[in-house]
Every structure is written in C-alpha cells, then in structure tokens.
C-alpha cells in the first residue's frame, strides 16, 4: 500500500502539485492519467522519493518513504531516463535489480543470475542478455528496465509511461505482465484505452490538481474527461470492457 497525503511540489515559483492525496492499494494497478504537463511524472517522482514534498507525508506499507535498502526491497521504479550512458550489458543491468537483496560486500551468485535470466525471458528479451544496454532501441530498453524491476522482486512497482517506445504487441504484453504480477502498482499512462484495460483505479490530474479519483468505471466518464482533455469523448462498452472514442472539436 502506498499512501500520499497532502503532497505538493513547485518548480521555482510554478506550483505543479498542490495538496494531492493518493492511495494505491495492494494487488491493484493505479493509473495516473491527465493531459501533458498536468503533473503525472512529478507526482510519480514524489511517490518514489526522487522529489521530496514540502507538505504532507508518504508511506509505503505504513512506513515513511525513505531511501534505504529496506525500501528498495519494497519499491521498484521504471523510468524513462535510466541508464542511457551506461557501459553495462543488458544482463548486468538486470542483475542490478538484485542489489537490495545482497549484503554490503556480497556478490551476485548463481541464484541471482537465474532470477535475472528468468526476468529477461518474461519480457521477451532473453536474446539481448549479452548486448550493450546503451545500444538498445527505446522499446528494448524499456523491457530490460522492467526485467530489472522484476528481478528486484519488490512488492510495489512504479512506472512512468512504460508503453512509450513499445509497439502495440509489447504495450499489451508489458501492461498484462504488470497486472499479473499482483503487486501494488502505480503507472503513468497516456493512452486511456490501455488505462481502461489494465488499471483497476485511476487518478485524473488536470491543471490545479486531482480532477477525479476512483475506479476505472467511475473516472472514465466522458463528462469528467472532456473538460480536462478539451476533446469530445464517447464511451462504448464492448464485451464488458470500456472503450473510448475521441472526437476532436466536439468537447
Ligand atoms: P506530465 O507528466 O503530466 O506531462 P510533468 O510532471 O512532467 O507533467 O510536468 C508538470 C509541469 O511541470 C509542466 O508544466 C512542466 O513543464 C513542469 N516541469 C516539469 N519538470 C520540470 C523541471 N525540471 N523544471 C521546471 N519545470 C518542470
């Protein structure tokens, strides 16, 4: 469980997140949605401690968010800007996920290598193990970073637009994987139809803060979404699942 109460962030004099509260529950996938610049990435960065809110508090399973080995065993993060300059191979990159499970001078052993190999295979990247991470395409990198998060075996997973750079097949495979992990996950998503399919709960951000929070069914309501996105939206329910169609110029 990740609980944020009354968190805020400003870049200089520009307030981006003000008095926001969010709750991500065990075994559920919480999606952060909203237009460009609404603060999704900033909120995610607050939730994994890359930014420190000056107000309120954030807890993971009731413990204050802190940068510790204990927290790293609980919380794994997949963000875009990771490792572009690294000289590591893909296999070494995934092994980094084992770090929080090793004692200070302990080196990775056969069990860690087996876990890393299994995690690479789960994201369809077993064949990339010996390649240089920096030489991969955006989509390949994304899958390797997800494998690293899986190798960390954390109970909470935070991802910033994990489907960016991925083709349609891997968009679905990666989000299906996140869903099947059964972890408490928070994922920033642009694509509302992917959010409809793979999230349980949503927080909709817009200028000035949280515009709506609740289940997918509650938040993906055209009456709520249209004023925030400024576009006409039609909701269809096919085979029990929600699909949104977009009509520019009709909001
Ligand atoms: P989103 O993820 O919803 O697109 P962001 O959290 O990236 O939104 O950005 C929210 C706002 O904060 C935007 O107006 C953006 O320009 C601004 N912003 C983001 N990062 C920085 C930064 N490092 N310095 C100054 N402003 C920033």
| Atom 21 of ligand 1: nearest residue by CA position | 11
Q: What is the DSSP string of 158-222?
A: EEESTTTT--HHHHHHHHHHHHHH-SEEEEE-S-HHHHHHH-SEEEEEETTEEEEEEEHHHH--H
10-residue block means of pLDDT along the chain (251 residues)?
96 92 96 96 94 93 84 88 81 93 85 95 94 90 92 94 90 91 95 97 92 97 97 94 92 67
Distance from the CA of 42 to the center of ligand 1, in angstroms? 6
The reply to whether 141 and 209 lie within a common domain is no
Using the 3D structure, point to which of 121, 153, 185 is the last residue of a domain.
Answer: 153
Distance from the CA of 40 to the center of ligand 1, in angstroms? 8
In a domain, 128, yes or no: yes
Of 210, 181, 213, 185, nearest to 199 (Cα)? 185
Residues near 10 by beta carbon (within 8 Å), at least 6 away in sequence: 16
The reply to whether 43 and 107 lie within a common domain is no
Domain total in the chain: 2
The reply to whether 56 and 159 lie within a common domain is yes
Six-digit token pair at 35?
Answer: 């237009």
In a domain, 78, yes or no: no
Distance from the CA of 241 to the center of ligand 1, in angstroms? 32
In a domain, 41, yes or no: yes
Distance from the CA of 18 to the center of ligand 1, in angstroms? 13
The reply to whether 111 and 46 lie within a common domain is no
Q: Give the domain range for residue 194.
A: 2-61+155-247
Query: CA-CA distance, 180 to 145, in Å (whole number)?
Result: 17
The reply to whether 96 and 204 lie within a common domain is no
The reply to whether 120 and 234 lie within a common domain is no
The reply to whether 147 and 165 lie within a common domain is no
In a domain, 142, yes or no: yes
The reply to whether 213 and 90 lie within a common domain is no
Helix (H, G, I), strand (E, B) or coil at 110: helix
In a domain, 68, yes or no: no
| Atom 7 of ligand 1: nearest residue by CA position | 41
As for ligand 1, residues whose beta carbon falls within 6 Å of it are: 11, 16, 34, 36-42
The reply to whether 161 and 227 lie within a common domain is yes
Are the C-beta atoms of residues 216 and 233 closer than 8 Å to each other? Answer: no
The reply to whether 140 and 163 lie within a common domain is no
Would you state the pLDDT for residue 83? Answer: 67
In a domain, 194, yes or no: yes
Residue to substitute in 37, 47, 162, 202 for testing ligand 1 pocket (most ligand atoms within 8 angstroms of CB) = 37
The reply to whether 169 and 149 lie within a common domain is no
| Atom 23 of ligand 1: nearest residue by CA position | 11
Would you state the pLDDT for residue 214? Answer: 97
The reply to whether 234 and 180 lie within a common domain is yes
Threshold 0.75, pTM exceeds: yes
Distance from the CA of 39 to the center of ligand 1, in angstroms? 6
């Amino acid at each position: 469980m990740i609980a944020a109460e009354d968190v805020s962030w400003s870049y200089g004099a520009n307030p981006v997140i003000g008095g926001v509260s969010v709750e991500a529950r065990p075994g559920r996938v919480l999606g952060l949605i909203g237009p460009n610049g609404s603060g999704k990435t900033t909120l995610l960065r607050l939730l994994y401690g890359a930014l420190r809110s000056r107000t309120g508090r954030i807890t993971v399973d009731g413990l204050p968010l802190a940068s510790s080995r204990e927290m790293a065993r609980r919380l794994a993060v997949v963000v875009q800007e990771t490792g572009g300059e690294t000289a590591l191979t893909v296999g070494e990159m995934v092994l980094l996920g084992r770090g929080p499970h090793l004692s200070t001078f302990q080196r990775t052993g056969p069990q860690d290598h087996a876990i890393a190999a299994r995690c690479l295979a789960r994201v369809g990247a077993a064949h990339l193990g010996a390649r240089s991470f920096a030489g991969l395409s955006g989509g390949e990198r994304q899958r390797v970073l997800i494998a690293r998060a899986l190798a960390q075996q954390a109970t909470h997973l935070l991802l910033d637009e994990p489907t960016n750079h991925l083709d349609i097949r891997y968009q679905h495979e990666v989000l299906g994987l996140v869903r099947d992990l059964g972890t408490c996950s928070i994922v920033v998503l642009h694509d509302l139809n992917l959010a409809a399919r793979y999230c349980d709960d949503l927080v909709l951000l817009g200028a000035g803060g949280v515009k709506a929070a609740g289940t997918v069914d509650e938040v993906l309501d055209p009456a709520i979404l249209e004023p925030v996105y400024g576009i006409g939206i039609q909701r269809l329910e096919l085979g029990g699942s929600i699909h949104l169609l977009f009509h520019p110029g009709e909001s």
